[in-house]
Amino acid sequence: MYNEFLTPVQIEKVEKMCQDEDLMDALQKVLLSSIYVQGTLQKGQPANPLHNFSWALSEVAVNNPVTDEILGQHLRGQWSGVRLLEIGFGDLKKIKTEKAGEVESPYNEAE
């Protein structure tokens, strides 16, 4: 699927990036922090979407009163966004360079 829009060089770079678990954890924290964490990230701890984004959303509702139904719709929308990003991070790990098959030499190497 990713071969349709990623170049071989890009695929190779994504594959190498995914091998660095610290880099992947840092990227995940940075990209997801504005969605679900309001100042609750901890060094050395993995990013966790259940930390705090519902509290941040509830705080907005206090200053701008909305019904519980609308608050729930926003909460569901944020969770859907987080899940899609989490799926994307999982998909990054699936991107692999295509390994060339063994090519038989046209020459007799015994000679």
Domain boundaries, the chain: 2-92
State the pLDDT confidence band at 11, using cuts at 50, 70 and 90: very high
**Torsional sign, CA 43, 49, 53, 55:** negative
pLDDT at site 98: 78
Average pLDDT over residues 70-96: 87
From CA 111, how far away is CA 107, in angstroms rounded?
9
pLDDT at site 10: 92
Q: What is the pLDDT of residues 20-78, one digit of tens each?
A: 999 999 988 888 776 665 556 677 877 765 566 676 667 666 777 778 888 888 888 88
Q: Which amino acid is at 46?
A: P
Entry pTM: 0.60
HSE at residue 15, side-chain half, CA atoms within 13 A, is 14
